[in-house]
């Protein structure tokens, strides 16, 4: 998660990413959302989000907007966030999280992003397995994202958004506690496969794409006020049992334009390769900025390529730039299917998925589809199950010799070259 650019690397961290955040120095747009909003989500919902003890005595009192975490929870108090009388996030004592992770034991380390390190843990009182994300005090992200994350997830409730169990604000500690997503991130599966990990088959890819789209639809169309996610990418799509996808990391989220406004003016934040060109150029954030990012993720799902891959030839480093000329020629669509699939995909399904991705990454934001239409299309594609037993692999799909393991090691698909 995170809006502050992170350029530091950590060679000691086995799962720290090389993805580059967009540095704020790159843009000169009006409103500085690091200093300003503290969080417009906080403001827009201040009537709803109240501290537990305030709820009783002063229902009109609000969560403060100055980025002070004590506004979320008093230090050490065992309160949390309540919305409409329902407990939405629990306030943990730091000691409870130390116990849950056996003092942040290296063996429980799951990964690291711009916010800090993530550990697997088990809560002593409930026995629930959780993911615990600890803010790195020397890192590039801070209180503001922490607050936006806590408040956005406290207000949200959808099967395709990761659940926030609670948080900890104690001294300098800022910690987020999430439900544990057993299969890690989509990025891990597409680009960083473990040696014994089953590669994603076509049906699973469509299931993930459709679920992620439903999560985004909830943010855009169902939340009140609507929310622009701003950080859609493979590492923020987490996978639970059965590859059930959930969006995570809402530290960059912004309340969408209100009234007649078409956009929110803001400092450009995000991750290279996923950021819509119009937003990057103008600083004008719209719901269509998220649609562009969704298109990039869908392209990654179909092609198995990274949004930005500096190891490739210059013309292939940017996924969208590589894909655009291929979109124009149906005969080349097969070249875009992930070689790891070894031809095991439905031809019509591939064409339709590519058509959706192509619409999403159009340069003109108003030409990009609405999320509701994407959900309809992807729900349909996900419902059309491809059966590798009855449908032969597509001839002419490229087989990548470096990634030639079968999708499912138990089944032995016939490959294009008959080997």
Taking CB under 5 A as the criterion, the residue among 249, 290, 300, 342 binding Mg ion is 249
Bridge partner list, 80? 90
The answer to whether 236 contacts Mg ion (rule: CB under 5 A) is: yes
Task: Name 282's Cβ contacts closer than 8 Å, sequence gap at least 6.
Answer: 29
Query: If contact means CB under 5 to 8 A according to the sort of partner, which of ligand ATP, Mg ion, none does residue 250 touch?
Result: none
Alpha-carbon torsion (144, 244, 370, 297), positive or negative: positive
Give, in order, the Cα–Cα distances in Å from 69 to each of 39, 85, 138, 171, 179.
12, 21, 17, 10, 22
Q: Measured between alpha carbons, how far is 6 from 236 in angstroms, rounded to an integer?
A: 16
> Any catalytic annotation for residue 95?
no
- Closest distance of CB 171 from ligand ATP, Å: 21
Does 133 belong to an annotated binding site?
Answer: yes
The answer to whether 185 contacts ligand ATP (rule: CB under 6 A) is: yes
For residues 116 and 369, which CB has a smaller minimum distance to Mg ion in the complex? 116
What character string, x for contact with ligand ATP (CB under 6 A) and - otherwise, covers 68-107?
Answer: ----------------------------------------
Task: Name 147's Cβ contacts closer than 8 Å, sequence gap at least 6.
Answer: 38, 39, 42, 67, 69, 71, 72
Give, in order, the Cα–Cα distances in Å from 368 to each of 215, 289, 321, 358.
18, 9, 17, 9
- Closest distance of CB 201 from Mg ion, Å: 24
SS3 helix, strand, coil % of the chain, rounded to 5?
A: 35, 15, 50
The answer to whether 23 contacts ligand ATP (rule: CB under 6 A) is: no
* Segment interacting with ligand ATP (CB under 6 A) among 110-118, 148-156, 215-223, 313-321: 110-118
Catalytic position from the list 40, 201, 231, 290: 231
- Residue 103 burial class via C-beta count within 10 angstroms: exposed 0-12, middle 13-18, buried 19 and up: exposed
What character string, x for contact with ligand ATP (CB under 6 A) and - otherwise, covers 155-184?
Answer: -------x---------------x-xx--x
The answer to whether 318 contacts Mg ion (rule: CB under 5 A) is: no
Query: If contact means CB under 5 to 8 A according to the sort of partner, which of ligand ATP, Mg ion, none does residue 277 touch?
Result: none
Looking at residue 318, the DSSP 8-state letter turns out to be B
Give the interface with ligand ATP as residue ranges (CB under 6 A).
1-2, 17, 19, 110-115, 118, 131, 133, 162, 178, 180-181, 184-185, 188, 235-236, 238, 248-249
Give the interface with Mg ion as residue ranges (CB under 5 A).
113, 235-236, 249
């Amino acid at each position: 998660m995170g809006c502050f650019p992170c350029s530091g690397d950590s060679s000691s961290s086995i799962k720290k990413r090389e993805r580059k955040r967009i540095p704020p120095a790159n843009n000169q747009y009006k409103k500085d959302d690091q200093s300003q909003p503290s969080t417009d989500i906080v403001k827009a919902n201040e009537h709803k989000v109240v501290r537990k003890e305030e709820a009783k005595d002063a229902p009109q009192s609000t969560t403060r907007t100055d980025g002070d975490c004590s506004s979320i929870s008093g230090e050490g108090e065992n309160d949390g966030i309540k919305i409409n009388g329902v407990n939405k996030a629990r306030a943990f004592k730091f000691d409870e999280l130390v116990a849950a992770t056996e003092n942040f034991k290296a063996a429980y380390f799951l990964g690291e992003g711009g916010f800090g390190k993530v550990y697997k843990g088990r809560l002593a009182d409930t026995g629930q397995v959780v993911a615990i994300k600890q803010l790195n005090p020397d890192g590039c992200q801070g209180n503001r994202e922490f607050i936006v994350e806590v408040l956005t997830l406290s207000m949200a409730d959808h099967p395709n958004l990761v659940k926030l169990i609670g948080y900890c604000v104690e001294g300098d500690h800022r910690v987020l506690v999430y439900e544990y997503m057993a299969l890690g991130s989509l990025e891990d599966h597409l680009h960083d496969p473990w040696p014994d990990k089953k590669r994603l088959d076509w049906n699973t890819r469509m299931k993930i794409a459709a679920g992620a789209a439903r999560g985004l639809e909830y943010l855009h169309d169902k939340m009140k006020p609507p929310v622009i996610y701003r950080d859609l990418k493979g590492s923020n799509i987490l996978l639970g049992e059965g590859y059930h996808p959930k969006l995570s990391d809402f530290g960059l989220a912004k309340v969408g334009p209100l009234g007649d406004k078409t956009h929110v003016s803001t400092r450009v934040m995000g991750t290279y390769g996923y950021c819509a060109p119009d937003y990057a150029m103008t600083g004008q954030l719209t719901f269509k900025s998220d649609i562009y990012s969704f298109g990039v993720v869908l392209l990654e799902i179909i092609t198995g390529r990274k949004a930005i891959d500096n190891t490739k030839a210059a013309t292939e480093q940017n996924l969208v730039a590589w894909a655009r000329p291929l979109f124009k020629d149906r005969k080349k669509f097969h070249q875009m299917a992930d070689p790891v699939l070894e031809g095991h995909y439905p031809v019509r399904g591939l064409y339709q998925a590519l058509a959706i991705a192509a619409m999403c990454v159009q340069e003109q934001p108003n030409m990009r589809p609405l999320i509701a239409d994407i959900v309809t299309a992807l729900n349909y594609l996900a419902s059309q199950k491809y059966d590798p037993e009855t449908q032969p692999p597509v001839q002419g799909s490229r087989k990548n010799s470096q990634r030639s393991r079968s999708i499912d090691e138990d089944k032995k698909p016939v490959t294009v070259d008959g080997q």
